[in-house]
Amino acid sequence: MASGLELVRAAKRLAAQGLMPGTTGNLSIRTHVGMLVTPSGMNWDLLEPQDLIEMGLDGERRRGQRTPTTEWRLHGGLYAARPELEAIVHTHSRFATVISCLRESIPAVHYMIALTGRPKIPCARYETYGTQELATATVESLGAGKATLLANHGQVAASFSLEDAVKVAIEVENLAFTWWHARSAGAPVILDDAEISRVQKQFESYGQNRRR
């Protein structure tokens, strides 16, 4: 289970890489109480562990804490629906947001899409930010995968660890960048589901951490 300090470091890393411009985006980790979430509208450069908010999945929290991200319902809904999830990252990263404004999925234009657990990254229907309707749409679109776009909004990455959720969020942005430019240049060749399954098998023996 990740710590508050690790959550702060993850937020600052994503902001430094341009995935969370301004005060946009939010992150969370699961806790014994429910979840630890980032605050609403706070400059990422100034974020410290004491600024994080611990709350129940239903929004219950003790007094004296900062105001939580407006998307706490999205985080709580995903944790409730997927008991194996330990961390969630939501960003307004540039190219993922561009594709979300087209309300399109990102297909298997590159084999790294296998990191998201499926051969495509779907796009959830549009709902107003911060609402229960958006939370429900996100849960439905994410399904059993690790990533989804949110129409006219951005992206969500969720995983069994904070490190992996961050990795998936970064890869979603890379894939959106690749898809946008490949499509602009011509007609991209899309990898089939069987190839993505083979890549997922290959990933089982890739790198120093075998868990995927």
Residues carrying an active site annotation: 71
Beta-ladder partners of 28: 37, 88
Name the pTM for this structure.
0.95
- Residue type (1 letter), 64: G
Does residue 166 sit in helix, strand or coil?
helix
**Residue 210 reports pLDDT greater than 90:** no
Beta-ladder partners of 35: 30, 55
Mean pLDDT within 20-40? 97
- Residue type (1 letter), 184: S
Q: Which of 166, 14, 144 is nearest to 88 (CA)?
A: 166
Task: Give the Å distances, CA to CA, from 123 to 20, 98, 104, 116, 189.
Answer: 19, 12, 6, 13, 20
Residue 212 confidence (pLDDT): 44
Across the chain, where does the E strand assignment appear? 26-30, 35-37, 53-55, 87-91, 123-124, 147-150, 154-159
Residue 134 confidence (pLDDT): 98
Residue 209 confidence (pLDDT): 56
Q: Tokens standing for 8?
A: 């702060």
Mean pLDDT within 28-57? 97
Q: Tokens standing for 151?
A: 């129409």
**Residue 181 reports pLDDT greater than 50:** yes
- Domain ranges, ordered by start, for the chain: 4-106+120-172
Mean pLDDT within 132-153? 98
Residue 206 confidence (pLDDT): 75
**What is the band of 102 on the pLDDT scale with cuts at 50, 70, 90?**
very high
Mean pLDDT within 89-100? 98
* Residue 147 dihedral angles phi and psi, to the nearest 5°: -150, 145
Q: Hey, what CATH topology would domain 4-106+120-172 get?
A: L-fuculose-1-phosphate Aldolase (3.40.225)
The runs of H, that is alpha helices, within 24-161 are: 72-81, 94-101, 132-142
Mean pLDDT within 50-62? 97
**What is the band of 196 on the pLDDT scale with cuts at 50, 70, 90?**
very high
Averaged pLDDT score across all residues of the chain: 96
Mean pLDDT within 54-63? 96
